[in-house]
Structure 1
Amino acid sequence: MIKTARQVALETLIKVFESQGYSNLSLNSALSKNKLSVKDQNLVTELVYGTIQYQLYLDYQLTGLVKTKLKDRYLRPLLLMSLYQLIFLDKIPNRAVLDEANKLAKIMGRKNSSAFRLVNGILRSFIRRGAILPPKEPLNKYLSIKESMPLWLTDYLLNHWGSKRTEKILTSLNQRSKNCIRINQNASKPQVLNELQKLKINYEESSLSPSCYFVDKPIMKTDLFKSGQVTIQDEAASLVASCFDYHENDEILDACAAPGGKSMQMAENLTSGHVTCLDIHEHKLKLVKNYATRMKLSNKIKTKAVDARKASTYFSEGQFDKILVDAPCSGLGLLRRKPEIRYLKTMDDIKNLAKIQLKILNSVALLLKKNGELVYSTCSITVEENEAVIAEFLKQNPKFEIQAINLPKISSKAGLKILPDTYQSDGFYIAKMKLRG
C-alpha cells in the first residue's frame, strides 16, 4: 500500500516519541523506505521536525479540549501533528488538515471506528477557540510553554543569562537552521563560487568564517560536494580546527573524531603530517574513512577504535604536536537541527558528561609534545561542560595555559563561547591551551 506523506510523518512521530530516539535517524529511514515525491518528502520533514520542536506548546493547546485519556498510541502524535499544521502552516487550509486527520484516524484506528470522531471533535474545538498561552507570570513557565523548552532548561538559561537574553536565545533556537557549506581550503574559492552561480544556487558569506557560505539549495548531489571541494559544516563548528597554528608535518590526534568533519579540516593543512582519528565504535570510523575518501584526504588520515579516556594506554607520551578534543556533550547548542535533544537531556546528564569530558582531557594531555597545542570544544552552551571543565583541567594540569583565539572574523582572550542568538549559528564553545616547554 502506498502511504501518504502525513501517514509517513505520523508513523515516524510515533516511533520517535515511543523510542525517545533521534528524529533525523527515524526520518531518514522512513524517507528511504517510502517512495515519495520531493514535495511530499519536504512535507514529511516539516511535519516531523516541527511537531517535535513545538511538542510542549502543542500539548498545551490540548488543555480543556481532551476530556478522556488518549489510550491509542497514535492519537496524541496525530493530534499534535494536526495542531502544528493548523497553527504554523498557513498554506494548508483547515478543512484539509481535518480531512487528512480523519483519514489517518480511520486507518490507524482500524477496529476503533469512533476514533476519528474524537480527533475531529478535538480539532474543531481548537479551531473555534484558537491557540492559548499560560499567564506571563511566572516568566519561566510562560517561556517554557511559549518556546516549547523544558522548564529545567528554561530556568537554566534564565539563571545564567537573564530574562531578555534568554528570550532571544529561545527564539533563535526555534528558527530554521541554515544550510551552511565550507569550502575546502585546497579548492579554489572563486571557482567554487562561480560553479554555485552556474547551478543557480544562491550563496552568502558567513559572518563567522571566510570559508563558510550559506546556500539556498541542497548541494550533496552536486559535483562540488562529490569531489570534496565543499562539505557541509556549520559556521561555528568550522572555527574549531582553525584555532591551531599548523605546520605541514604535524602529527595530530583527533580524540573524538566521528563523523570526521573537523578531522578533514585539520588534514587540509598538512602535507607530510597525519591526523589520527579515534572513536569507540569501529562502524563510526567507517564514516571517517568514507569522508576522507570523498575529500581526497585518505593518505593523511589514520583511524583507531579507542575510548579516548584510555588513549594514554595506546599512544606514547609526547607523541602528538596537536590534539583536538571535540568532546561528547549534551548537544544543547544544536537544538535547531535536533529538536528532540531538549526533551531527552537532563541536568544529571550534563554533570555526568562533564566528568567524561575531564577524563578525556586528562588522558590525552599526556600525549602532547612540549609547546604543543590542545583545543577543546563542545556543541553545548552549558557552563558545566565548558568553562568549568577547562577550569578544573587547568587546575589539575598546571603546565597547561589558556591561549588567545585569533581568527579572521572573531577572537577571544580566553575560551570562546558562541550563543545561538549571536550569529544564528549552532551554539559552541572552544578553548585553546598550550603545554609549556
Structure 2
Amino acid sequence: MSKKSVREIALKLLNQVGESGGFSHILINQAISNNDLSNQDKGLLTEIVYGTLQRKLTLEYYLNPFVKKRTKPWVKWLLYMSIYQMVYLERVPDHAVINESVTIAKKRGGKGTSGFVNGVLRNVQRQGVPKTDEVKDPIEKIAVETSHPYWLVKRWVNMYGESITRDMCESNLDSKKISIRVQPLKNSVEKVEKILEEEGIETNRSELSQQGLNILSGNPLHSQLFPNEITIQDETSMLVSEMVDAQPGMMVLDACSAPGGKTTHLAEKMRNDGVIFAYDLHDKKVKLVKEKAEQLDLTIINSSSQDSRHLHEVHEEGMFDRILLDAPCSGLGVLRSKPDIKYHKSENDIYDLAKIQRELLESVFPLLKSNGTLVYSTCTVDRHENEEQIKSFLDEHPELKVDSTFFEQLPESCQSLDGISDYGIQIFPQDFNADGFFLTRLVKV
C-alpha cells in the first residue's frame, strides 16, 4: 500500500470532521500517531486542517463563483483546502497545490473529477478570489470575513455590540498561545523558568496565575519537566482555580472535574492538604483526572464517576467549604483550538445546555457550608449560559449572593475589562489571547 501524502491525510480528516462530526483535535492527534510524518509534515497537516476549518465559510464564499454544480463532499473539501493554501499559505506555491490536488482528485474520483478540480483551481489562480466589499449587511460581512455562522454573529452583536463581536471573531482565527502551570510543591516558578530557558523554551509570566507561564517559543511537551512538574493549561482556565481560593485543610467539591486541570490546580493551591471530591459523568474521563493527579503526586483527590445533578444523594448538606462548578457549556470561548464547534452548534444547544447548568447549580449549592463559596465557570461567551444564568439563579435563591470580594481579588489585568458585570466577569478570547471564560463566585449567607 502506497504511503499517503500529507494533503491526502488532511483531506480525509476534513471530510470526517465536516461530514461525520468528528473532533478535529482528536483526529489530528490520531493521524500523527498512525502515520510516519516528519516534524515539517506534522506542522503542515495541522495547519491545513485547522486553517481550512477555521476559514470554512470564507472559503465557501471564495469558491461559490467558480462552482455552478453540486459536488461530492470530499471534492468540496479538497477545493476548500486547496484555496486555503493558495490564499493563506505564502510558502506553498500555487502550482504545487494545484498539481497535488489534481493528483488526489484523479486517484479518488477519476479523470472527470481531476479535470473539474483542475479547471476550478486554475480559474481561482487566474481571477483571484472575490472581495467581500459587495457584502453590505454588517453582520453578514463579519460572518463571511471571519467564518462564523450568521446566527452566532447576530447573537453576539445583540449581546456585545459590533466592535467587541468583530474583535472576538477575528481573535478566534488566531493561533492560541500555549501556557503551562508549575507544580509548586515540586518546583518554584523561577527554577522552572531557568530549566526551560536551558532547554531553549522561552517564557513570560502569566498575568492571571502566579503558577502560570506563557510559552513564547519552543515546545514544553519536549521538556524534562513534562508531565510531572508542569501541566499544559490555558491561563484563563488557571484563573478559575485561583478564584476558588481553596486553602489547606478544606473540604472541596469539583463537580465537573475532567480532564483534571482545575482539580489538580486546586490540590496544589491546598498544598496537598485537605480533601477534594472530584466527579465526572464518564469513567473514561475520570481516569484522566486520576492519571493527572498521579503524575503530579497529588493524593487528596477522590475521583469517581457520578452525575453531579444527583450529588445530594451522595453528600450531606453543608459539607463543603468550596465548590467548583465548571459547567458543561456550548464551548464558544474555545473556537481557536476547536474550530469545528462553531459549525456544529445551534441556538437550541445553548438553551438545552443552560437547563443542565441550572440543574447542576440546584443540585450542588445545598452542599455548601454557611459562608462557603461556590465558583461557577464556563468556557463560553454566551450571556444566557453566564450572566443571565446567574441572575436567574440568584433571583430564586436569596440565601446566595455574588461574593463582593471576588471582584477585589481578580488580578489587576482583569479589573478594567469590558466583560465585568454585577454577576461576574466575562473574559473574551481577545483579552489575553487565550480561551474565552466566564466566572463568578457566590457566597452562602
Aligned to 1:161: 160
Aligned to 1:259: 259
Unaligned runs of 5+ in 2: none
Q: Which amino acid aligns with 1:273?
A: G
Q: Deviations over 1:192-243 (max 9, x none)?
A: 000011001111223333332221222123221132x211111111100111
Q: Deviations over 1:91-118 (max 9, x none)?
A: 0001110111011112212xx3221110
Q: State how far apart, in whole Å, the 1-side matches of 2:69 and 2:441 are.
A: 56
Aligned to 2:354: 354
Displacement of 1:364: 0.5
Q: What does residue range 23-422 of structure 1 map to in structure 2 within 5 Å?
A: 23-71=24-72, 73-109=73-109, 112-134=110-132, 135-186=134-185, 187-215=187-215, 216-227=217-228, 229-270=229-270, 271-297=272-298, 299-404=299-404, 405=406, 406-409=409-412, 410-411=414-415, 414-422=423-431
Displacement of 1:5: 0.8
Q: Which secondary structure state, in structure 1, belongs to the residue aligned with residue 220 of structure 2?
A: coil
Q: State how far apart, in whole Å, the 1-side matches of 2:213 and 2:273 are.
A: 29
Q: What does residue range 4-23 of structure 1 map to in structure 2 within 5 Å?
A: 4-23=5-24
Q: Which amino acid aligns with 2:410?
A: L
Q: Which secondary structure state, in structure 2, belongs to the residue aligned with residue 236 of structure 1?
A: helix
Q: State how far apart, in whole Å, the 2-side matches of 1:88 and 1:214 are.
A: 26
Q: State how far apart, in whole Å, the 1-side matches of 2:257 and 2:402 are.
A: 23
Q: State how far apart, in whole Å, the 2-side matches of 1:391 and 1:419 are.
A: 20
Q: State how far apart, in whole Å, the 2-side matches of 1:68 and 1:401 are.
A: 58
Aligned to 1:435: 444
Q: Which secondary structure state, in structure 2, belongs to the residue aligned with residue 2 of structure 1?
A: coil
Q: State how far apart, in whole Å, the 1-side matches of 2:67 and 2:246 are.
A: 61
Unaligned runs of 5+ in 1: none
Q: Which secondary structure state, in structure 2, belongs to the residue aligned with residue 74 of structure 1?
A: helix
Q: Deviations over 1:29-84 (max 9, x none)?
A: 1111111111111111101000011000001111221122213x420110001000
Q: State how far apart, in whole Å, the 2-side matches of 1:183 and 1:31 are.
A: 28
Displacement of 1:157: 1.6
Q: State how far apart, in whole Å, the 1-side matches of 2:197 and 2:58 are.
A: 40
Displacement of 1:137: 1.3
Worse-matched range after superposition: 282-291 or 422-431: 422-431
Worse-matched range after superposition: 252-261 or 238-247: 238-247
Q: State how far apart, in whole Å, the 2-side matches of 1:164 and 1:432 are.
A: 28
Q: State how far apart, in whole Å, the 1-side matches of 2:400 and 2:144 are.
A: 44
Worse-matched range after superposition: 230-239 or 160-169: 160-169
Contact 1:133 1:145 (8 Å CA) reproduced:
no
Q: State how far apart, in whole Å, the 2-side matches of 1:180 and 1:247 are.
A: 24
Q: Deviations over 1:352-390 (max 9, x none)?
A: 111110110110011111111100000001100001111
Q: State how far apart, in whole Å, the 2-side matches of 1:201 and 1:140 are.
A: 41
Contact 2:317 2:366 (8 Å CA) reproduced:
yes
Contact 1:256 1:326 (8 Å CA) reproduced:
yes
Displacement of 1:414: 4.6
Worse-matched range after superposition: 98-107 or 268-277: 268-277
Q: State how far apart, in whole Å, the 1-side matches of 2:103 and 2:218 are.
A: 33
Contact 2:374 2:443 (8 Å CA) reproduced:
yes
Q: Which secondary structure state, in structure 2, belongs to the residue aligned with residue 182 of structure 1?
A: strand
Q: Which secondary structure state, in structure 2, belongs to the residue aligned with residue 62 of structure 1?
A: helix
Q: Which secondary structure state, in structure 1, belongs to the residue aligned with residue 236 of structure 2?
A: coil
How many residues align? The count is 431
Q: State how far apart, in whole Å, the 2-side matches of 1:206 and 1:84 are.
A: 33
Contact 1:328 1:357 (8 Å CA) reproduced:
yes
Contact 1:70 1:76 (8 Å CA) reproduced:
yes
Q: State how far apart, in whole Å, the 1-side matches of 2:164 and 2:107 are.
A: 45
Displacement of 1:28: 1.3
Q: Deviations over 1:326-370 (max 9, x none)?
A: 000000000111111110111111111111101101100111111
Worse-matched range after superposition: 405-414 or 392-401: 405-414
Q: State how far apart, in whole Å, the 2-side matches of 1:432 and 1:143 are.
A: 34
Q: Which amino acid aligns with 2:318?
A: G
Q: State how far apart, in whole Å, the 2-side matches of 1:25 and 1:234 are.
A: 18
Contact 2:377 2:439 (8 Å CA) reproduced:
yes
Displacement of 1:168: 1.3
Q: Which amino acid aligns with 2:441?
A: K
Q: Which amino acid aligns with 2:114?
A: F
Q: State how far apart, in whole Å, the 1-side matches of 2:304 and 2:146 are.
A: 42
Q: Which secondary structure state, in structure 1, belongs to the residue aligned with residue 200 of structure 2?
A: coil
Which portions of structure 1, spanning 4 or more consecutive aligned residues, are displaced by more than 6 angstroms? none
Sequence identity (%): 38
Contact 2:428 2:435 (8 Å CA) reproduced:
yes
Q: Which amino acid aligns with 2:169?
A: L
RMSD between aligned residues: 1.4
